[in-house]
Structure 1
Amino acid sequence: MAEIVAAQVIQDFALIMVVAAVMALVSYKLKQPMIIGFIVAGMIIGPHTPPFSLILHPEILNLLAEIGIVLLLFVVGLEYPIAKLRAVGRKALIIAFAEAFGTFGLGIAAGQAMGMTLFDSMFIALAISVTSTVVLSQVLKEFGIDKSDIASLVLGVTVIEDIIIVSTLAVLQSVASSGDLSLSDIGLSIGLVLAFIGGALFIGSKTVPRFVDLVGRTNHFDVFLVAILGVAFGLSFLANQLGISVAAGAFFAGVLVAESKAHATARVLTSPLKDMFAALFFVSIGALMDISKLPLFIVPALIFIGVSFGAKFTTVYLSAKSQGLSKKTSLQAAFGSSASGGELALVTAKGGADVGATSGFVLPMVGAMTIITSFLSPYVVKFGWKISEKLAPETPKADNDKDGNP
């Protein structure tokens, strides 16, 4: 019996990878983000797609998704060493907080206005607050502006935003797990998350980098890879035991490994694993999406996309202007930041489903919004840059300050 199950799991895994590869190639040919191809691949093979599921063991999808979350967020964290976070200027910090919490608040209001439950509204609101660092950086690179000052500002905003989203998700999951929305319980959850982050950064920064460097000096890449994966899954497990999102644990594990002298080697070794399990994560999310609910949520999804774009654009533009940036720079930052959702939006939606806090339509709704916004992202940025050039053809030198921000 065990041999039959093992054979079926291998069959499922093979099917997932083959269909994902085909859809990734289709996305590449159509010049669309790979994330779209992977989600569609999941929809094709998933248990909710008629006439029947191509996957024999749907429960494996959740396992693959969880592993994918850990590796995806760990590698994201590798890009954010503490020194880099300190280097992000005051302007990017202020803009990121205004954008994240402004969009989050308006998203909750929109969800409540449509009659959704409070937790549905909160998790969707957090999901639409995300701006995909991966998608945005690819778009900026395609347009040849990834090395410009405005690109540095926008990507700096997304760096801080990622940390805000991951931390807020941890708080939301902690509160949702208890089901208590009292101020004392919310305060306890926030305190727990802050204590975890503070402890991880304070204690971890004194131990993890030294451990990673010690293992790195063996010059055995297999031992080194096992060690850093141990850090990633170990901190994720600790976060989970504390009732905090595994995504938060994995992200800050990456931040700590990034502090080591061997961080470049860690990034090279984990990148292939991240690519594979990120693909599995997006495919799994697509498969877990009940597309039969599409008629029920497509209109609310379009409303949330509109709320997301309007909230991000307005908050980024106004906060950028309040920091003394020119009209052109503020407009470009606003269009760039409002362009797309992404991988963290899906992590957020799944986080709500994992603790049983959200309704069945939330995950497919966020998946649909991710596909739509990822598709529109290049066009939004291109249109935004043209509009910015027409409305404000010159960027004043006053935009450059001692913080190094454009």
Structure 2
Amino acid sequence: MHSSAVFLIEFGAIILGLGLLGRFAGRFQFSPIPLYLLAGLAFGEGGLLPLGTSEEFVAIGAEIGVILLLLMLGLEYTASDLVSNLKTQYPAGLVDAALNAVPGALMALLLGWGPVAAVVLAGVTWISSSGVIAKVLGDLGRLGNRETPVILSILVLEDLSMAVYLPIITALLAGAGIAAGSLTLAIALGVAGLVLVVAVRFGRHISRFVSSDDPEKLLLVVLGLTLLVAGVAQQLQVSAAVGAFLVGIALSGEVAEGAHGLLSPLRDLFAAVFFVFFGLHTDPASIPPVLLPALALAVVTAGTKIATGYWAAKRAGISAKGRWRAGGTLVARGEFSIVIAGLAVTSGIEPALGPLATAYVLILVILGPLTARYTEPLATLLTGRRNRGPAPEPSAAAGEPVRESVSETPHEVA
């Protein structure tokens, strides 16, 4: 009875604290993810007040949080959207992977962590935060901008790449050989391809089967189906998160919209628990030794993300200011980076990887909204000065001041 009371007190305090942190972040219009991570650091190993009886329940909640994060991302896209993006935007996806995964892999190798850790850290630096970026676009009123579809296309390709990347990571972290790893990847690709084919051809029938006018029944069926598929996927040595993502893709139309509205509060709750859980397993004393590499990696990959967005927007025919806005918006890292690092932490391949990922995400989840807001005006200011050069001497004959040409407005795109 005593342990039950302590559990309720601890877990209740965690949820209440997360709610207050979320309200604080909302008041100042920034992502609550860094605050959740800091809360986990405060109550984890080496923190101010380590948890006791509720830690096991928090671990289960964190796993559900990852599943719901991927499910909700899948609900955002239809199978036809994914196929269309693959056909038209795959060059941008390849450039994105090359520019942003390579710095993470090189950093891991320079630190002497080995090839497996290099593949993990490559994923941490590669994937942008869909949640943070979506919120930033809404806050800045850019959802209708011409560059926004380019940004969303890159995010879709990153999300879809998780269906291939996560099984590879799972096999590597499990120490599977080449044969076992190849089998795992083949199963993952086969399942992903099968789901896409079924979703394209029979998506309406699946949605009709799941559909219900009663919100309670819809919630139970979608959540139960997601957890079931995630469990089966994990049993087949494919990531549970990939299974949840594919379930989201298979649902479309009114079912997807209804499920999105019903599951959003649950996603926010368990995602917050997940970030706290990641922080719980990171000793705050382990962060200062990796702070300098994390800062260097954040600076480099902020630059490579800006270059990615600029190139993709230029390829789509967007004007210069729109290109800078696209690049600055993609900088934020968040949930996916922590999910990938969390897999490595639980496997124990490299003790310093978790602290470095925590510091890296903390830096970029704070820096991301700032680059989204200020990259374009700063680039415009610098390029304007460079293009103008020294001010010309006034003409004595004309007797009139030299008038500069008017540039495009901040929201004008080609």
TM-score (norm 2): 0.85
Matches of 1:196 and 1:165, distance apart in 2: 13
In structure 1, the residue matched to 2:361 is: 370
> Which of 330, 340, 356 pairs up with 1:348?
340
- Is structure 2 residue 205 aligned with structure 1 residue 210? yes
In structure 2, the residue matched to 1:194 is: 189
Matches within 5 A, 1:81-92: 81-88=78-85, 92=89
Matches of 2:218 and 2:311, distance apart in 1: 46
Matches within 5 A, 1:45-56: 45-50=43-48, 52-56=49-53
- Is structure 2 residue 147 aligned with structure 1 residue 150? yes
Counterpart code for 1:42: G
In structure 2, the residue matched to 1:30 is: 28
Q: CA deviation at 1:149?
A: 0.8
Residues 317 and 216 (structure 1 numbering): CA distance in 2 closer, same or farther, change over 3 Å?
A: closer
Q: CA deviation at 1:260?
A: 5.0
Q: Deviations over 1:195-231 (max 9, x none)?
A: 12112333466667535423424x3322221111122
Residues 178 and 291 (structure 1 numbering): CA distance in 2 closer, same or farther, change over 3 Å?
A: same
Residues 313 and 125 (structure 1 numbering): CA distance in 2 closer, same or farther, change over 3 Å?
A: same
In structure 1, the residue matched to 2:223 is: 229
Q: Is the 8 A contact 1:175 1:189 kept in 2?
A: no
Q: Deviations over 1:248-281 (max 9, x none)?
A: 1111111112x25422211111112112112212
In structure 1, the residue matched to 2:393 is: none
In structure 2, the residue matched to 1:105 is: 102
Q: Deviations over 1:71-107 (max 9, x none)?
A: 1211121111113324448554321221124321232
Q: Deviations over 1:293-345 (max 9, x none)?
A: 012211121122123223323344345545665544433322222x2101111
Counterpart code for 1:255: I
Counterpart code for 1:216: S
| Bigger Rg over Cα | 2
Q: Is the 8 A contact 1:46 1:54 kept in 2?
A: yes
- Say which is worse superposed, 41-50 or 207-216, in terms of deviation: 207-216
Q: Is the 8 A contact 1:102 1:311 kept in 2?
A: yes
> Which of 41, 44, 50 pairs up with 1:43?
41
- Is structure 2 residue 74 aligned with structure 1 residue 80? no
Matches of 2:45 and 2:229, distance apart in 1: 32
- Is structure 2 residue 269 aligned with structure 1 residue 276? yes
- Is structure 2 residue 126 aligned with structure 1 residue 126? no
After the TM superposition, list the runs of 4 or more consecutive aligned residues in structure 1 that deviate by more than 6 angstroms. none
Residues 68 and 238 (structure 1 numbering): CA distance in 2 closer, same or farther, change over 3 Å?
A: same
In structure 1, the residue matched to 2:6 is: 8
Matches of 2:163 and 2:73, distance apart in 1: 11
Matches of 2:376 and 2:322, distance apart in 1: 10
Q: Is the 8 A contact 2:150 2:313 kept in 1?
A: no
Residues 146 and 261 (structure 1 numbering): CA distance in 2 closer, same or farther, change over 3 Å?
A: closer
- Say which is worse superposed, 324-333 or 151-160, in terms of deviation: 324-333
| Structure 2 runs not aligned, ≥5 long | 385-406
The secondary structure found in structure 2 opposite 1:340 is coil
- Say which is worse superposed, 184-193 or 38-47, in terms of deviation: 184-193
Matches within 5 A, 1:261-340: 261-318=254-311, 320-321=313-314, 326-337=319-330, 339-340=331-332
Matches of 2:229 and 2:199, distance apart in 1: 10
Residues 85 and 207 (structure 1 numbering): CA distance in 2 closer, same or farther, change over 3 Å?
A: closer
In structure 2, the residue matched to 1:173 is: 170
TM-score (norm 1): 0.86
The secondary structure found in structure 2 opposite 1:31 is coil
| Structure 1 runs not aligned, ≥5 long | 401-406
Q: Deviations over 1:123-145 (max 9, x none)?
A: 11101111112211222222222
In structure 2, the residue matched to 1:404 is: none
- Is structure 2 residue 64 aligned with structure 1 residue 63? no
Q: Is the 8 A contact 1:209 1:256 kept in 2?
A: no
Q: Deviations over 1:340-395 (max 9, x none)?
A: 101111111112233x1532222232122212111111221222111344438449
The secondary structure found in structure 2 opposite 1:289 is coil
In structure 1, the residue matched to 2:233 is: 239
Counterpart code for 2:140: F
Matches of 2:121 and 2:237, distance apart in 1: 20
Residues 78 and 364 (structure 1 numbering): CA distance in 2 closer, same or farther, change over 3 Å?
A: same
Residues 384 and 94 (structure 1 numbering): CA distance in 2 closer, same or farther, change over 3 Å?
A: same
In structure 2, the residue matched to 1:249 is: 243
Q: CA deviation at 1:37?
A: 2.2
Counterpart code for 2:37: I
- Say which is worse superposed, 357-366 or 208-217, in terms of deviation: 208-217
Residues 201 and 113 (structure 1 numbering): CA distance in 2 closer, same or farther, change over 3 Å?
A: same
Q: Is the 8 A contact 2:79 2:199 kept in 1?
A: no
